[in-house]
Amino acid sequence: MKKLILFLLLVPVVSCSSDDEETFCIDLSLGVNCSGAEYIKNSDSSYVLPWEIGETFRIGQGNCTNGSHSEGSYSQFAYDISMPIGTNIHAIQSGVVLRVVENFDDVEDGVNDVSLIDEANFIEIEHSDGTIASYVHLTKNGALKKEGDIVIQGESIALSGNSGWSSGPHLHFQLNKCIDTDPRENYIWYSCNSIPLTFKNTSEHCFGLLDYNFKPEGYTANSF
Ligand SMILES: [Zn+2]
């Protein structure tokens, strides 16, 4: 009986619907992902995971958590991907490098100081549809591209790190849609809102990537 109860607790309430044009998954389970958020099925997504094909990483923090990705915040649809400093970061989509910051030192593991939010290294890439991908907490001098460079989906663009407001080595990643903010003037990675995101080159994740509590084996980047 105990096993059955555990099983029921671990299985999210799922409702998938489809029409001729698009297929969405709608999360009905509070506490797993953002309530009411619509994620495009990964088989319909145009994005790939931001790491090398064949590698597997766990999600340290998913969407709409009680932590820094809280529901309604600019990072509600962000992912924290646990990975060692120096891991190659790959572009989720083709685009143009909008901004690079790479002059800050990595912090000690476990520091987790919110006052360091403006001392994170990052690279941002603008896609043809106007969305902007933010790859944050890069290691010092970890950008492999410069502003204005054209990047191709899947290309290596940066090295991960532990700079800024971070509790340990990881990549904070979010896809932004800037509605009221001009991304070119005084833009910084947390001035626009994150949007729900799925990836086409990994196992099914109807409600976005789930954190290690729900997906302890992590996600493997497959060829695409
Ligand atoms: Zn984060």
pLDDT tens digits, 6-56: 433 333 444 444 343 344 555 444 345 677 788 888 889 999 999 999 999
Q: What is the mean pLDDT of residues 103-123?
A: 92
Percent pLDDT > 70 in the chain is: 79
Distance CA 98, CA 184 (A): 8
- More confidently predicted of 17 and 175: 175
Show the domains of the chain with their CATH numbers.
Answer: 45-199 (2.70.70.10)
CA 169 to the chain's CA centroid: 14
Distance CA 142, CA 128 (A): 25
CA of 74 to the centre of ligand 1 (A): 10
CA of 137 to the centre of ligand 1 (A): 9
pLDDT band (50, 70, 90) for residue 145: very high
- More confidently predicted of 185 and 172: 172
CA dihedral 87, 78, 128, 160 (to 10 degrees): -10
pTM, to two decimals: 0.84
What pLDDT is stored for residue 183 in this prediction? Answer: 56
CA of 17 to the centre of ligand 1 (A): 30
Sign (positive or negative) of CA dihedral 126, 90, 85, 83: positive
Say if residue 175's pLDDT is above 90: yes
Could you report the per-residue pLDDT of 125-142, keeping only the tens digit for each?
999 988 999 999 999 999
CA 211 to the chain's CA centroid: 11
Beta strands in 3-108 (DSSP E): 14-18, 23-27, 38-40, 56-57, 59-61, 79-82, 88-90, 95-101
Say if residue 165's pLDDT is above 50: yes
CA of 77 to the centre of ligand 1 (A): 9
Distance CA 71, CA 126 (A): 24
CA of 165 to the centre of ligand 1 (A): 9
Q: Of 178, 211, 176, 216, nearest to 195 (Cα)? A: 176
CA of 132 to the centre of ligand 1 (A): 16
Question: Which residues neighbour ligand 1 (ion) by CB within 5 Å?
Answer: 78, 80, 172
Which three-class secondary structure state does DSSP give residue 124? strand
CA of 4 to the centre of ligand 1 (A): 33
What pLDDT is stored for residue 182 in this prediction? Answer: 61
CA of 69 to the centre of ligand 1 (A): 6
How far CA 128 is from CA of 125, 151, 152, in Å, comes to 10, 12, 12
> Over the range 56-94, which residues count as b (16 or more CB within 10 Å of their CB) and which as e?
ebbbbbbbbbeebbebebbbbbbbbbbbebebbbbbbbe
